[in-house]
Each structure stands twice: as C-alpha cells, then as structure tokens.
Amino acid sequence: MSKSMLIVMQLEELFLARSFLDGPVGLVPTMGYLHAGHISLVEKAGLECKGVIATIFVNPTQFGPTEDLEKYPRNIDGDLKLLEAAGVDVVWMPTAQIMYPPGYQTWVDVENMTKPLEGSMRPGHFRGVTTVVAKLFNATRPDRAYFGQKDAQQAAVIRQMTRDLSYPIEIIVCSTRREADGLAMSSRNSYLAPEQRLAAVVLFRALNAAQSAYKEGERNAERLRQVVRDIINLEPLAKLQYVSCADYETFQELEVVNSKALLSLAVFMGATRLIDNFILE
C-alpha cells in the first residue's frame, strides 16, 4: 500500500507503467487544478479498481479561439500531492506536443447529441473532448472510466462514444460536489472575484427553485426554464447564456417533462462561464 505513485509524460513510459498494473484498471481524466470533485472520482476508482490511472492534460482542442485555454488555472505540485494521497498508481501528464504532434490529422466525432446545449455554445468543443478521451482510453486501456455529473452532456457524449466505438469500458458518472453554499465545484471558480463568488450561488438557487416547482407537480418545461431565468435575472453580476430543460438521452428541448430530464444552464459571471445542472426524474 505504500508503493509510490508513478508520474509519466511520454507515451512509451505510460505503456510500460500500464503493463505493470493488475486489472481492473480505473481511469480518471482531468485537466488538473484538482478539487474535491476530482478527488471523489479518484476515491471511487480506488474502491472499485485494483489500479488507478489519473491524467492531467489541459486539452487545447476542446477550447474555442476566444476561450480560456491560456489562463486555465494550473497547480501541478498541489495536484500530484492530492492524487498520491488519494492512492493513484500512475499519473500521466502529456504535453500538447505529445498529444498532437506535427502532422496530426485524426478526429473522433459524435454527431447528434453534441449539437445542442454546450455543443451549440462552444463549436468544436465536443470534437476536442471525444478525440482526447478516445486517445486517453486507447493509451491507458482502462476497464472503467470516471466522469463528473457537472458536465452532464460531456458524460453522456462519452458514454455514447464508448458504446459506438465498442470500447470494453464502463463509464461511471459521479454526482456533482458542491461548496458549502451549493456552488458546484469547478476549477474555473478560481477566476471569480470575491463578490462574484458570493453571487455565483445563484446557479444553485435557480436550479433548486425549478426542482422544487417540479416536485410540486410542475411539468411544463418552459415554466421550469422561466423559474431559472427569473432567479438568474435578479442577480446583477450574473448573465444567463442559456437554460435548458431537455430529454436526458437526446438533449432535445422538452415541452412537457414526462420522463427523465436534464435541467441545465450556463451563466457568465463577468468573463467567467459557469455551468450546472440537476436531473429531474
């Protein structure tokens, strides 16, 4: 149990490290700057798997040209301490040059379910996500892979890709971890100024209010979306980008909620874009 964590960068080092792991092997892909949400994934992987691989890679192909790739927060030393304490066996930290060498020209695309919601707001985002996750799956050959529910559409897209591309991998989606006031944990929360941080709880409050309406019997999707809009609009520091009440499988907007649904939103707090969601069922 006191074996030390292997940290590898090159692909050949990873392949060698992987060959030493007994199965089942769990994979936890991250972009670093880890918080308790990431660690809950690692801990779940540790409970369910004999070997745990975590990856840290800020994947440039999933950022749009106007997005926050350059300033995405990093804290490698802190991340490695957290991963080692959580019992990770191998950390793979490739460079962009290793992942996308000169002449790179291959892309993995999931079609229909990447069109709405985050896909419509962030063109090319999911192509970057599915391509890099396919690469992580191929290079690490896990039995299980762990993702967070906060990125609900991402988790569903990866589940679809995994099934479509015949991977022998179980996709495990873990519930969103929240701060004491309800704000969903996110590396991007570190961008928030103190007054924005306080105001950011409005996402959780809006989702909560809509969920209460749902529990009290409201099934009209537009009225549920309006509950969210009304609360976000009361917060002067928040600007709603979208609110969605969509089918949980297809992400098509609903008129009436009569099966499992995803209530989700994206909000700008200044230049910082936050997302969150609740499942209605």
Is residue 11 part of the contact set for its own copies (CB under 8 A)?
yes
**From 17, 18, 38, 161, active-site residue:** 38
Choose among 194, 190, 232, 243: nearest CA to 68. 190
Is residue 111 part of the contact set for its own copies (CB under 8 A)?
yes
Is residue 156 part of the contact set for its own copies (CB under 8 A)?
no
Q: What is the rounded CA–CA span in Å between residue 278 and residue 106?
A: 34
Is residue 168 part of the contact set for its own copies (CB under 8 A)?
yes
CA dihedral defined by 121, 124, 127, 131, rounded to 10 degrees? -120
52-71 burial: b if 16+ Cβ within 10 Å, else e: bbbbbbbbebbbeeeeeeee
Of 137, 146, 204, 251, which one interacts with its own copies (CB under 8 A)?
137
What backbone phi and psi angles, to 5 degrees, belong to 132?
-70, -35
Q: What is the rounded CA–CA span in Å between residue 82 and residue 41?
A: 12
Q: Is 38 a catalytic residue?
A: yes
Of 56, 108, 228, 246, which one interacts with its own copies (CB under 8 A)?
108
Task: Name residues contacting its own copies, limited to 17-36 (CB under 8 A).
Answer: 18
Task: Name residues contacting its own copies, limited to 248-277 (CB under 8 A).
Answer: none
Within 8 A by CB and 6+ apart from 226, the residues are none
Number of neighbours of residue 190 by Cβ within 10 angstroms:
13
Residue 113 or 201 having the CB closest to its own copies:
113
Choose among 236, 215, 230, 218: nearest CA to 265. 230
Task: Name residues contacting its own copies, limited to 48-107 (CB under 8 A).
Answer: 99, 101, 103-107
Is residue 159 part of the contact set for its own copies (CB under 8 A)?
no
Residue 108 or 192 having the CB closest to its own copies:
108
The site for its own copies (CB under 8 A) is made up of 11, 15, 18, 99, 101, 103-113, 130-131, 134-139, 141, 160-161, 163-168
Q: Which residues are catalytic?
A: 38
